[in-house]
Chains A and B, each alone.
Chain A
């Protein structure tokens, strides 16, 4: 029993240490975005000789949104003789195919890829198939619910002027921000994640993340890596770590802003978080060791580790709650006998949870938000929601990693009305 208690208390102390690292990270990033030197992408380069680009759009039952993304890409100012658009109709059972074919008839640079029959469904598999027919050295990817502004392809692609750049990531802005409580909160979360978190990681030469949409990568590199691993649900995170481990970098282009449709339903959001967590944790299991064996700097390795663990921490926290409950009923709530340690443990609970809101608040302030900032306390209720579904995703990842079973891709439902 005594050993168990020591183990449980050690776990709590470890958890406090981990959370403290994340608190420090939130404050560091926010202060860097506020006071530090800001690094911008290569968007100031004007070049009339743009490289050939393939724009890929993964689509599974996207009839509600397909025409918007296709129209937006057709309207791009990118030279049309240097552009092909490949909508990847992935086993759709609605009118996606018809919409895509209609566009393809009108615009010869739209070259649909219809995936049917026994081919495995899911974004990584579809991307692999598309890479086989894509002619562009640079691959730009948009999810079907995105609406890029006219000049965005150029803004993303110009970053590859730097030969060390393996991928580039733009900023995601929910177009349906004001729809309901969920979309309003997601709008704030996105602001914190991009305006502060991604930008600070780019500023500090750490690990900005390629997010799989509003982004681009070099085809030759992905092919050299053997394509996307179809067993991993987060092909974006995987590519990020593959690139960094192999000596390439990811550029975060804060100026390349693009509208997305945020989930409007809590169930859909729950599935999305669970899928993200599942995929992200698969990447954690696969890349933690290679990350530390790579030639990256210590700070990059540290940031990479914190990034890899970001979807594992909620599970560790839930375990921490179970741990604390056991300690509570065993009469061992004083983790260590020292007064100061107890004081710190309890206080981190409050400020550990506040730190992300500090980051979100500052990001929304930079964006010029006013009354929406007042929604911050509502995140109190989201804390457990996120923790729960992220933890389920973690468990999914452990299961699929152990059983080597193919993970199932759950598509995010769309809400746009015509």
Chain B
């Protein structure tokens, strides 16, 4: 039978308001496949653009960091045929015997106190243990084989810059893939794009400051800290701002979407 088409309002009667609270199991987000693919295409293009301009990006990263850490010069290396990668070049130093011993003692003390006392929440304690354990290993290494340390500041610098450019180029693709999922309204597209720009910008600033700081430490406070720069404060740390921005962005769109029935559909 054909509807008499009296143009009812969307479901707003008392029973629906009640159902919404209890219908998480069948809740689905409306989406627009065209908008999703459009976004993905855009993010893919940006990603592709960044990949094809690796030299320029590495140069931009280097001059920005150089602006903060002036005791370095910009150098370049051919990484793929005809493609040059720019990085900051400086001279570092090995730790002295005394400072290595001092750091080792501090590490042992921190690890001991961490083991003995329980006033720090356990996840932070484990994280601290991890940081100081790596520092302790580093100290032991430098006490025993410091003379054979295989890296220069330039080796580290190249590795760091490559990693960071890798993250820049992947943000549009992987982070874009995460936010493009939300395509239920035009304003979400704007929110998505702003979030995407923000994450790229934050990533760049963060990378540049960290680059400068790491080189500053390696130059002035020795290679003793290099292991931690790789294992604790390297790419793993980028996860913080990516998940922070993602969480904040989600909370904003969730606040709006939650109040609007038209963005949702149910299985029944």
A residues neighboring B (CB under 8 Å): 27, 30-31, 34-35, 38, 40, 171, 181, 195, 254-255, 257, 266-267, 270, 321, 324-325, 328-331, 333-334, 339, 342-344, 346-347, 349-351, 353-354, 357-358, 361-362, 364-377, 379-382, 384-385, 388
Contacts and interface: CB of A to CB of B under 8 A. Distances in A.
Given A353-B236, A379-B243, A255 B26 contact: yes
A370 B29 contact: no
Nearest to A375: B247
Contacts of A372: 251
B81 to A, nearest CB: 11
A370 B177 CA distance: 21
Contacts of B150: 329-331
Contacts of B27: 366
Nearest to A41: B25
B84 to A, nearest CB: 12
A374 B248 CA distance: 5
B86 to A, nearest CB: 14
Q: 9 closest pairs, A vs B, by CB?
A: A331-B150, A376-B247, A346-B163, A266-B122, A254-B25, A385-B123, A343-B166, A377-B244, A347-B166
B201 interface: no
Given A354-B242, A370-B254, A382 B234 contact: no
B181 A362 contact: yes
A267 B181 contact: no
Given A266-B123, A325-B231, A347-B235, 7 more contacts: A27-B177, A30-B181, A325-B227, A346-B234, A349-B234, A365-B254, A384-B127
A339 B26 CA distance: 46
A374 B240 CA distance: 12
B216 interface: no
Contacts of B145: 329
B250 A350 contact: no
Contact of A366 (B24, B141, B166): B24
Contacts of A349: 234-236
A356 B121 CA distance: 23
A343 B163 contact: yes
B162 A343 contact: yes
B79 interface: yes
Contacts of B246: 354, 357-358, 361, 376
Contacts of B137: 325
A266 B121 contact: yes
Interface string B128-149: 0010001001000100010000
Contacts of B154: none
Contacts of A375: 247
| B interface SS class | helix
A374 B231 contact: no
A168 B168 CA distance: 44
B80 interface: yes
- Of the four ranges (under 10, 10 to 19, 20 to 34, 35 or more), the interface on chain B belongs to 35 or more
A358 B178 contact: yes
Contacts of B121: 181, 266
Residue of B130, B175, B177, B178 with most partner-chain A CB within 10 A = B178
Given A181-B121, A333-B159, A364 B231 contact: no
Interface in B134-190: 134, 137, 141, 145, 150-151, 159, 162-163, 165-167, 169-170, 174-175, 177-178, 181
A34 B181 CA distance: 8
Contact of B250 (A266, A364, A388): A364
Interface of B: 24-29, 31, 79-80, 85, 121-124, 126-127, 130, 134, 137, 141, 145, 150-151, 159, 162-163, 165-167, 169-170, 174-175, 177-178, 181, 227, 230-231, 234-236, 238-244, 246-248, 250-251, 253-255, 257-258, 267
A382 B80 contact: no
A255 B28 CA distance: 14
B30 to A, nearest CB: 10
A376 B244 contact: yes
Nearest to A376: B247
A96 to B, nearest CB: 29
Contacts of B230: 324, 328, 333
Contacts of A346: 159, 162-163, 166-167, 234-235
B141 to A, nearest CB: 5
Contacts of B267: 38, 40
Contacts of B178: 354, 358, 361
B191 to A, nearest CB: 13
A353 to B, nearest CB: 5
B40 to A, nearest CB: 11
Nearest to A181: B121
B123 A373 contact: no
Contacts of A328: 227, 230-231
Given A339-B79, A368-B24, A380-B243, A361 B231 contact: no
Nearest to A359: B178
A354 B243 contact: yes
Contacts of A347: 163, 166-167, 169-170, 235
Most chain A CB within 10 A, of B166, B227, B238, is at B166
A375 B159 CA distance: 31
B142 to A, nearest CB: 10
Contacts of B251: 369-374
A272 to B, nearest CB: 13
Contacts of A367: 24
- Give the one of B79, B122, B243 with max A CB within 10 A: B243
B24 A257 contact: yes
Most buried by B among A40, A347, A369, A374: A347
A344 B244 contact: no
Nearest to A366: B27
Contacts of A368: 24, 254, 258
* Most chain A CB inside 10 Å of its own CB: which residue of B31, B169, B177: B177
A38 B26 contact: yes
Given A171-B25, A342-B162, A349-B234, A380 B240 contact: yes
